[in-house]
Amino acid sequence: MAGVAAHRAAGPRRHTGYMGDPGHSDAVTRRFPQAPASAAAARRFVAEALADAPSDLVHTAQLLVSELVTNAVLHARTQVEVGVRVHGGRVRVQVGDERPSRGLVPQDCPPYAGTGQGLALVEHLASRHGVHADDRQKTVWFELWADGPPPPSPGWAAHVPPCATKGTVTLVDVPSALYAASQQHRHTLLRELTLAASAGADLGVASQDLVTANDINNVLSACVTAALEEPLPDVDLRALSLALPADAAPAVLILRRVLELAEDAAREERLLTLPALPRSRAFQDWLFDQITDQLTGGRPTAWTVLPREPDVSPSELVPWDAGHLRVSRVPAIAADEGNRIIAVNGLAADMLGWEVDDLVGRPLTTLIPKHLRQRHLAAFGSLLLTGQSRIMGRSVPLPALHRDGRTVPVRLLIQNQEMADGRSVFVAQLVPRADTTDGMPSPAGVKSRMDHEPVVAPVPAAGERAGTMADAGGDMSAMERLALLADTGAELSNTLELDDALARVGRLVTRRLADWFVVDMFTEYGQVDRVCVVHRDPPGPRPTPYEGRLPPLSEASGGPLARVLRGAGPLLLTEAPPPSRADSALDVHYRQLFRHLGAASAVVAPMRARRENFGALTVARARGRQPFTEEDLSLIDDVVHNLALGVSNTRLYQETRNIAQRLQRSLLPVLPDVEHLQLAARYAASSTTAQVGGDWYDSFVVPSGDTAVVIGDVTGHNLDAAIAMSQLRSMLRGIAVDRQEPPEMVLRRLDLANHSLHREATATCIYGLIKGSAHGPWELSHSAAGHLPPLLTTAEGDTHYLEQGAGLLLGMDPEMPRHTAVDSLPAHSTLLLYTDGLIERRGEPLGHALTRLRRYTADLARESLDTFCDELLIGLGADNTDDIAILAVRPTPASADGGG
């Protein structure tokens, strides 16, 4: 401020004629130092110089000069000269700096962006604007006209700094939305770091490094902006070619180091910005790696083929759009950075008892049980403040809150995506799972439409894009046709998830044969759903109004799609289907789709396999492409035959899995209501095998009044395992209730009964009895058959495993003696029975896993029993490769309030 005051004391300078415009009234100019305070000083100077001008022009001029001076201070880093002039009610202001080589870099910034708004504001608010430069100075100017239309504005263009030698860097598969978010964040961090450094803050960044980082960051932005203005040579490859200074690699390394220090400062809340989210940070690392590697002789590596951590999920090249979520066949909800729901589809709303419009705008905590809300808010705040997440991109079993107050067990997958303007959005996919949080299965309406884990279809790598369809329409050789059929079969065999398989085949067909790939399929109730729409250019038009549930197939329907759904075809269409007097709603809908796709020709073929018609496939070519001919029908018929077989196999697999899941849900017991014991249980199927296993738990009161607790695990992950589990569970309950013998004898009799089965099962199991009056004391007597030991956690957080009573697993030798162990259970302690899916990790010693479980339960010792169980699943059950069953018991004296 002292420097500014000195300049102001010197008074303004007046020049006859106005800044290269002789014949007009005098202009007033003033110089300001290279300091952040100069922006405020320039605002005051403009207000003084325009004292007699209309107030609206003054306020606009002050705003714009503040932005331009800030740009000059941050990027030119020289003294700034501001000139003001009024003539005939028109205002002209110019801002000059002494660094003409630093050109302007206009950015297309959304309104919320923290940086890059200066030039955008000038473009929006000024009547005219432009820039001119000479050997000494660069001057940016704007005019505000209160009367009459101004002449055309010169405007400005992106300026790439000249350099003696250039190197070419090719960025392959650059997702535009993610790049926009990364660029905005880089500029914000550097701006905040520069302002903090100018105020004397010590953030560990050398002043010269900060200068270098700002300079090379501006060069990168200018080069990318210029590259984006050039037409892409191959729309499928989606590569940007940057002409960077050949010696830029050291500067980029400095930029990377400076940004890392800025991220640390942001996490410590020393800067007025948040740190980057995981995916944006990973993308920035890839960007810098590509630049430094290629400038030193390396080869390009596509963003989409890099291995990533779970919280940095691969991204489709298409920016997130609410329309994609609404037509998704996975129950899904999207929230913004303010934790507000911004989009939800009908599947998710139905599952949770809401109307779609009633949920949009509500806080996300509306759908979270009360005992987990504080945990969610803390985790969400931690994500934004640290840029680190525990569950992002991972499949986690937990409960969601239904509108009527009950809980719905779901498996949650949260991913961070970017909108077209660079903003972040958090998309949560929710799939119903078996559990007993409320003793109810998942809603039947949701289960029938979507009874599988969420699938995020992978983006094809750059190498997969060889052999794209030729512009003329793609006359294919015999070898190319065989390759297409072979690749189609391979894609269908690589996944048993129907949506993923259809998307994979759609990408193949649109790269080699057509512009559009559309699949319509019958539901189990005879309705027709449009389940897959793929365009050869991912960011291209999406026919959202024509996706989802189609009009009914009625007797009056006689159009091409209706005929194929009844089994006719394949049909060749060389133009849009003509209207007829008998058009049904389905016929009109299909004709409108044809025109929306811009299709000039198409083939519609029935999807038939094993004497069943599953639906119809439409492949279409747009105008300007070689139309389909009769010669193409045989190839497409072969493709659709492969596709129908794949659909049939997938449906058979899903039907078998659904039977096992329904069986397992039906066997999950309702826990008994025992006055002096709190009980809670959870079950979660594997997130990776997508199959049902033989894990089970049980609890019941025997005639003597003791409470039985059971946990078990049958070997295998299939329908046989679920059937064997149901047999063992039923036999164990019957033996325990009938004989009322010590646990060791009950397990021995169970093993003998197991040997009498047609298919003898191999299984682990714990059977225990909890004895005690309403006021205590309590004790557990238990016997284990090859199962992991129960874990006892006291209210003070002390933990120990109950390792006595161990014996051979079931199905080995029923004559082997077994033992019963007796242990006391202190009041308010928590007894945990669990299956190995909760703790075991591939390649990790069992001792480490058991130690980790003890740490978790110690931290949760004073939480309610529901929170205790849910936190265990959240913390240890993400991405579990095996089923998980847990049963928790907490003795509570009758005089206590039961709060746990």
**pLDDT at position 147 over 70:** yes
Confidence class of residue 107 from pLDDT cuts 50, 70 and 90?
Answer: low
Decide if 2-144 and 322-442 have a common fold: no
H/E stretch holding 396: strand 395-401
SS3 state at 314:
coil
Tokens linked to 676? 């002096």
Q: Please, are residues 408 and 638 in contact by the beta-carbon 8 Å criterion?
A: no
Number of residues assigned to the chain? 900
Parse the chain into domains and list their residue ranges: 2-144, 166-305, 322-442, 467-657, 669-891
> Using 50, 70 and 90 to split pLDDT, how confident is the model at 209?
very high
What mean pLDDT do residues 166-182 have?
85
* CB distance 502 to 515 below 8 Å: no
Q: Is the pLDDT of residue 422 over 90?
A: no
Could you give the CA distance from residue 220 to residue 222 in angstroms, rounded to a whole number?
Answer: 5
**Cα–Cα dist 77/69, whole Å:** 10
Identify any residues that bridge with 410 across adjacent strands, giving them in sequence order: 398, 432
The predicted-structure confidence for 322-363, as pLDDT tens digits, reads as follows 877 876 767 889 999 889 999 998 889 988 999 999 999 999
Its CATH architecture, for the domain 669-891, is 4-Layer Sandwich (3.60)
Asked if residue 781 has pLDDT above 60, the reply is yes
Residue 182: count other Cβ atoms within 10 Å of its Cβ. 22
- Eight-state DSSP code of residue 556: T
pLDDT at 573 over 50: yes
Tokens 């902006």 belong to 225
Give the CATH H-level superfamily of domain 322-442. PAS domain (3.30.450.20)
Percent of the chain, pLDDT > 90?
33
Distances from the Cα of 639 to the Cαs of 98, 278, 508, 535, 851, in angstroms?
66, 40, 11, 17, 53
For residue 849, the tally of other CB atoms under 10 A from its CB is 16
- pLDDT tier at 118 (50, 70, 90 boundaries)? confident
Question: Minimum mean pLDDT among 82-91, 259-268, 291-300, 326-335: which range?
Answer: 326-335
Cα 149 versus chain centre, distance: 48
Secondary structure class of 14 (helix, strand, coil): strand
**Quick one: average pLDDT of 737-758?**
88
Please, are residues 519 and 644 in contact by the beta-carbon 8 Å criterion? no
Query: To which residue do tokens 């998942």 refer?
Result: 442
The answer to whether the beta carbons of residues 607 and 615 sit under 8 Å apart is: yes
Are the C-beta atoms of residues 787 and 767 closer than 8 Å to each other? no
Torsion angles phi and psi, residue 569, rounded to 5: 105, 180
Q: Which of 103-112, 273-282, 451-460 has the highest mean pLDDT?
A: 273-282
- For residue 813, give both structure tokens: 């030798």
Class for the domain spanning 467-657 = alpha beta
**What integer pLDDT is reported at residue 114 of this predicted model?**
58
Among 49-63, 295-309, 380-394, 408-422, top mean pLDDT goes to 49-63
pTM score, whole prediction: 0.68
Q: Binning pLDDT at 50, 70 and 90, where does residue 463 land?
A: very low
| pLDDT average, residue stretch 174-182 | 83
The band of 663, judged by pLDDT with boundaries at 50, 70 and 90, is low
Closest CA to 551 of 574, 577, 583: 583
Contact 520, 615 (CB under 8 A): yes
- The owner of tokens 């001919």 is 629
Alpha-carbon span 594 to 589, nearest angstrom: 9
Name the average pLDDT for the chain: 82
225 contacts: CB under 8 Å, gap ≥ 6: 105, 106, 107, 158
Terminal C-alpha separation, the chain: 61
Among 16-20, 226-230, 247-251, 557-561, the range scoring the smallest mean pLDDT is: 16-20
Q: What confidence category does residue 885 fall into, taking pLDDT thresholds of 50, 70 and 90?
A: very high
| Average confidence (pLDDT) over 511-534 | 86
Query: What's the CA gap between 860 and 1, in Å, rounded?
Result: 55
pLDDT at 546: 76
User: Do residues 158 and 222 make contact, with C-beta atoms less than 8 angstroms apart?
Assistant: yes
Confidence of residue 558 (pLDDT cuts 50, 70, 90): confident
Separation in Å, CA 824 to CA 297, 715, 827, 851: 69, 31, 10, 22
Which CATH fold topology does 2-144 show?
Answer: Heat Shock Protein 90 (3.30.565)
345: which DSSP letter? -
